[in-house]
Structure 1
Amino acid sequence: MNRRHPALLVSALVGALALSACGGEDPLEGDEEQTGGGGGDAALVIGSANFPENVLLAEIYAAALGDAGVEVTTNLNIGNREAYMLGLEDGSIDLIPEYTGNLTLYLNESAEATESEAVYAELQESLPEDLTVLEMAEAEDKDSVVVTQETAEEFGLTSIADLAPHAPNMVLGGPAEWRDRFTGVPGLKEVYGLEFSSFKPLDAGSTLTVQALLNGQIDAGNIFSTDPAIAENDFVVLEDPEALFAAQNVVPLISTDKVTPEVEEALNAVSAALTTENLTEMMVQVQETDPADVAREFVDGL
């Protein structure tokens, strides 16, 4: 299967500028917090994307590094990958939780691997010299196409491929970047032949997609596989037999010059302890508890 998709190096700048224009704020000026010291120029800056799980993972990294004596600050809710990669490039952030499959595709438009170890190896080959990934976690959070139980039963849906004859009469919902990313509308069309009647942009990892499914604004939606809303609402995650969504193991992406033995040991310990099961459990907790508190409890148990 050809997994090629449009190069994103130019669109990264466009995406970041668009985010800046929305609300008039710099996309790299997220929620800043200081951990493990007095801050300052020497502090390692941990960023996060703008969805709850990534914020939680950033808080876990911050707590673990702080316990290891590393001075850190956080810059949370920066935006999507196109925005925060600019922060890694210009040095305004040093570390961010990432996902192996989508990061590999961002860096290498010809990426073909789909299984965890192969994706991780391809990612390492695709990284520029100034960026490094440390050990990946068993924990995985993949994009998924989800429908309600009623929709699945009405149309006999068990896999994404089953949507083909029905998609022209359906609305697909997902994060705005899904309109152009290969692991979104273009890939669903190329790999599965799906042509939806329309695409409704919604915030990644938010409750908007859940509500849109429940109230019938969309017929199928992109929800991350660890989202507790799937079980809570008895949604059906459609199988992906053509592996459009490659393995998405959680992995720390860090500026190479910020890797020290202390940093590496602390982050590798986090990766060794993170599983899909405990990450999903923590995502239930963050619905009612501050992510920093959930992160603190997890790190205390390492």
Structure 2
Amino acid sequence: MRFKAILVLSATLAAVIASQGAAEERPKALAVGGKPFTEQLVLAHMLGELVESRLGIKVERKLPLGGTLICLEALKRGSRRGGIDFYVEYTGTGLMSVLKMPKVDDPAEAFRRVSEEFKRRWDLIWLPPLGFNNTYTLAVKADLARKHDLRTFSDLARVSEGLILGADLEFLERPDGYPGLREVYGMRFKETRSMNPALRYVAMENDQIQVMDAYATDGMLLKYDLTVLKDDKGFFPAYEAAVLIREDVLRAIPELEGTLKLLSGKLDDETMRRLNYQVDVLGKEPLEVARAFLKELGLSR
């Protein structure tokens, strides 16, 4: 009986080892996903092109895949089970929307927390941030910024009583929107108007509003020549973009991590805004923009 038990145990261990080896066998192809907006499409193509040109591994582009939860669940499955192997996520989204943790003021601490928790819970790895922070911000027309020397939210608060703020209704009512800005910065706008993003840009151009909420890397900010102000007291949480990838894929392809890290720190807010502008305003294809930027960095082959 003891001999049979040993044989059974040995067979079981062999099966486990074999299954682990199969799971980490070097894949011949990978899959990248992305959320349904311009920035994500450009970045996904950028990552795919980089891996294909440098490592010779085919990368399927599942674009647009869906929102945060859809992308995350696909990442947990992996491409072997019909999912994806990596995509670009944002620290603020990972921290507050996925992990349900409170806002963290320090961007480095936010990155540390999501890195630890995603690895512990799901064996998912956050690579070093790409360099831009697609957080909420406030924007004004360039001529107004020059007239009043507006560079920061604190500068804006100083002249806010003579200006009209345009934003969506949620931003105007949520504690982490205008009510919070009133408390932290002392902003007191002459009037607030609720309107959707497309209308806000036109309203800014027609001087129906003088201040609007926006995402820091929105390409439309360039089209309408708007100045993005600095959140000098760190009111809005950090949404640093970084590659989120399966740990088993990194083990199976040791050189993959170094290849993807070639983009870390290479895209600041202005650069990402410019790339989004090329798609949203100039009408270029996301793949075309991605390839051109890799060539600009000297990373294409």
Q: Same fold (TM over 0.5)?
A: yes
2:199 is the counterpart of 1:213: no
Partner of 1:75: 62
Equivalent residue pairs, number = 256
Any conservation in 2 of the 1:113–1:122 contact (CA below 8 Å)? no
Letter in 2 for 1:172: G
Moved more, 125-134 or 209-218: 209-218
Cross-structure match for 2:106: 114
Matches within 5 A, 1:255-270: 255-259=246-250, 260-270=253-263
1:293 counterpart = 2:288: yes
Larger mean CA deviation between 176-185 and 144-153 belongs to 176-185
Which amino acid is 2:32 matched to? I
What does 1:219-234 correspond to in 2, within 5 Å? 220-234=211-225
Counterparts of 1:201 and 1:283, CA distance in 2: 19
Using the aligned pairs only, state the percent identity.
27
Which ranges of structure 1 fall in alignment gaps of 5 or more residues? 1-40
Equivalent residue for 1:64, pick from 46, 50, 73: 50
Distance 2:93 2:158 in 1: 24
- Structure 2 gap segments, 5+ residues each: 1-26
**Amino acid of the residue matched to residue 49 of structure 2?**
A
Once the two structures are superposed, what CA deviation does each residue of 1:148-186 show, in whole Å capped at 9, x if it has no partner?
A: 35766899966445459968x955325x98589875457
What is the root-mean-square deviation of aligned Cα atoms in Å? 3.9
Alpha-carbon distance between aligned partners in 1 of 2:203 and 2:147, rounded to the nearest angstrom: 18
Aligned residue for 1:137, secondary structure, equals coil
Is the 8 Å Cα contact of residues 63 and 296 (structure 1) preserved in structure 2?
A: yes
Could you tell me whether the CA contact under 8 Å between 1:141 and 1:249 is conserved in 2? yes
The yes-or-no answer on 1:97 pairing with 2:92 is no
- Judged with a 3 Å threshold, the aligned counterparts in structure 2 of structure 1 residues 284 and 171 are, in CA distance, closer, same or farther, namely closer
Counterpart among 39, 45, 49 of residue 31 in structure 2: 45
Q: Determine the C-alpha separation between the residues in 2 that align with 1:247 and 1:291.
A: 25
Give the alignment's TM-score, normalised by structure 2. Answer: 0.66
Q: Which residue of the partner structure matches residue 172 of structure 1?
A: 166
CA distance in 1, matches of 2:292, 2:247: 29
- Residues 220 and 88 of structure 1: is their aligned pair in 2 closer, same or farther, counting only changes over 3 Å? farther
AA at the equivalent of 1:291 = P
